[in-house]
Amino acid sequence: MSETGTRSKAPTPKPWIAAIHAYVPGKSAGKDGRPLIKLSANENPLGTSEAALAAKAKAPALYPDPDSKDLRARLGDLHGIDPARIVMGTGSDELLNLAAQGYAGLGDEVIYVRYGFSVYDIAARRCGAAPVVAPDADYGTDVDALLALVTDKTRVVFVANPNNPTGSFLPKGEIVRLHAALPTDVLLVIDQAYGEYVAPEDEDGAMALAAAHDNVLVTRTFSKIFGLAGERIGWGTGAPGIIDTLNRIRGPFNISSTGQAMAAAALDDMTFVERSRVHNRDERARFVEKIVALSNHGLRPLPSQANFVLVLFEGKLTAEAAFDGLAERGYIVRWLPNQGLPHGLRITIGHPHDMDAIAEGIREMAEAAQ
């Protein structure tokens, strides 16, 4: 009812919902609709495991197992986690949203870092909580800046490690320090969507925190290194209380039968994962080296532990012009003006010949812009 007592003409969304800017996915076609080679969504250029593809045909068409029991058991085996401490999500996106919804609401605050993953803003706002954005440290996550914003209203802190879109990574010492300084009633969500790309010796210790404390949720996904983004399968691990909370509010049949079968088969083929990690590590290093060689043109690749590199354009060639020029050459990457990065292109690591063509295209454009 409005002030005059008449009803409004149409249903009115809640103001905190109306304030949300919808998620913008990576595109796969140019302005003219021409399909381009897609390096805009951090997908695995090697595809997915043959074993996962073979499992696809075998999944029954009836309702799926609501608890994904077999898949959780396999995840538990692989990571040394009691399956009772694992919750499945329709992509890790569902779990990020449920974490905010389960623990924050109107009047509460949710903290994440500037240039953090764009879903955190949506997750905070859709349950009515206020997003609080911590300043970055040269595009990386600044633990002290996050901690400085903690108040009595703080309920959830989101950290992606490695972070998207910057690729930055917090080492174990920093993650442990962040957790130790947070009040125990604040939920720390460590989003490891790119966790498998990190060299095993650099592992950030988040899983151990989730195993030992009541206020840590670690999320993972089958969308990135496993190459199953189309199936929408994510998972999280934490204390039983957290898992119970998320299970109450998740979709009852949130992982399809096909998704459960493919993910379980993918876990039996860790050689594919290792091959993907090594490919990414080597190609990323080769690509970064070529961009570093263009630093005299104001080009700066940020250090990345993920399957993409954020290249900053701080010279005459703008990121927008480079985005258009790469599209003319057949490639779509991610330009991020909506995330405060009009001077950045996030480029997914693809096949060697594609990375060569992109680096060469950027070199030509940078030299022509002088």
Ligand X SMILES: *Cc1c(COP(=O)(O)O)cnc(C)c1O
- Contact footprint for ligand X (CB under 6 A): 91-93, 117, 160, 164, 191, 193, 221, 223, 229, 234
Taking the C-alpha atoms of residue 351 and residue 301, their distance in angstroms, rounded to an integer, is: 18
Residue 183 class from Cβ within 10 Å (0-12 exposed, 13-18 middle, 19+ buried)?
A: exposed
Residue with Cβ nearer ligand X (234 or 301): 234
- Cα–Cα distance list, 49 to 56, 271, 276, 359 (Å): 11, 9, 10, 28
Instruction: Output the smallest distance, CB 364 to ligand X, in A.
Output: 30
Residue with Cβ nearer ligand X (207 or 366): 207
Q: Alpha helices, DSSP H only, in the chain?
A: 15-18, 50-56, 69-79, 91-103, 119-126, 143-148, 172-181, 206-212, 240-249, 257-267, 270-292, 319-328, 352-368
Residue with Cβ nearer ligand X (218 or 294): 218
Residue with Cβ nearer ligand X (156 or 299): 156
The owner of tokens 């096909």 is 258
Residue 60 class from Cβ within 10 Å (0-12 exposed, 13-18 middle, 19+ buried)?
A: exposed
Instruction: Output the smallest distance, CB 235 to ligand X, in A.
Output: 9
Retrieve residue 344's tokens.
């950045």
Instruction: Output the smallest distance, CB 55 to ligand X, in A.
Output: 19
Residue with Cβ nearer ligand X (78 or 212): 78
Taking the C-alpha atoms of residue 253 and residue 195, their distance in angstroms, rounded to an integer, is: 26
Residue with Cβ nearer ligand X (103 or 112): 112
Instruction: Output the smallest distance, CB 296 to ligand X, in A.
Output: 31
Instruction: Output the smallest distance, CB 91 to ligand X, in A.
Output: 3
Taking CB atoms within 8 Å and a gap of at least 24, the contacts of 269-273 are 269/49, 269/50, 269/51, 269/52, 270/78, 272/46, 272/48, 272/49, 272/50, 272/51, 273/49, 273/196, 273/225, 273/226
Taking the C-alpha atoms of residue 143 and residue 159, their distance in angstroms, rounded to an integer, is: 10
Residue with Cβ nearer ligand X (141 or 245): 141
Instruction: Output the smallest distance, CB 48 to ligand X, in A.
Output: 13
Retrieve residue 302's tokens.
């940020």
Instruction: Output the smallest distance, CB 6 to ligand X, in A.
Output: 42
Q: Which amino acid is located at 285 in the chain?
A: A
Q: Which residue is nearest to ligand X (CB)?
A: 91
Instruction: Output the smallest distance, CB 117 to ligand X, in A.
Output: 4
Cis peptide before 342 (omega within 30 of 0): no
Residue with Cβ nearer ligand X (64 or 91): 91
